[in-house]
Structure 1
Amino acid sequence: MAKIVCVDDDKDILETCEVILTGRGYEVFTATGGKEGVKKVKEIKPDLVIMDVMMDDFTDGFNAVYEIRKDEKVKYTPVMMLTSVNQHFPQKFGEKDGEFLPVDAFMEKPIKPKEFLKKTQELLALKKEEINVEGKK
């Protein structure tokens, strides 16, 4: 069973994520802010992180993801960002902080369950492929 950490300061969004994902058999852990989310990701080592872009206790969700990317044990965990902003960004990794967006996908709010599940499954498959290629678990 895949482990997913959902991070958002909106408890309604967390509940929505939890209902959708647990209904499909995923193990879901929630956090209400970036600092708590980073801590949970480092402790749980999930298969996927779902992170809100704008939160109260970090300038934004990107800062939380940059913190995750610094930790060798979780730095390659796929991350999907949730955003209320109707924009699409290039999703590309780079070598230095600030030169790239540290995420694998964006999902606009409000969450559309079918689209949300499809993107979740794609990112979990990406993680599985990475494990198979690298021979790591």
Structure 2
Amino acid sequence: MQEVAVTHHKRRANGILQHYVDAGSGAPVVLLHGFPETSYAWRQQIPVLAQHYRVIAPDLRGYGETEKPSTGYDKRTMANDLCALLDSLGIERIALVAMTAVHVLLRALPRIIRSGSNVWSLWTMFQHERFPPR
């Protein structure tokens, strides 16, 4: 397996400073950690996926190296955080992989993202769904 650079970044999006891991190139795959984890939970998968895809693994609001404001922990705001981060990176369409603990957050995305077609695949750990739901 060829070694791929894994870099850590911070970017202000949706009013908070968000930390994310970025690796690889190609079609973007976003990895969302569960509760009470951080992007570090994906450390084994990132180098493997980055062989074929651009991998983005953010720390969600209040977790890891992302800011921890006193408000904004509702699913709509956290979905807006993700959308704002992706917009700031110029990413329009993603494959989304999430741990089941954030499945509730993902349900807010169809209402938040400009159109449901922006997510071309949604995988949750132990479950696969068509996204957006039919």
For the superposition of Structure 1 and Structure 2, which TM-score range results when normalised by the shorter chain? 0.3 to 0.5
For CA contacts below 8 A with separation 6 or more, give which structure has more relative contact order.
2
More strand by proportion, 1 or 2? 2
Q: Which has the higher helix share?
A: 1
Give the TM-score normalised by the residue count of structure 1. 0.47
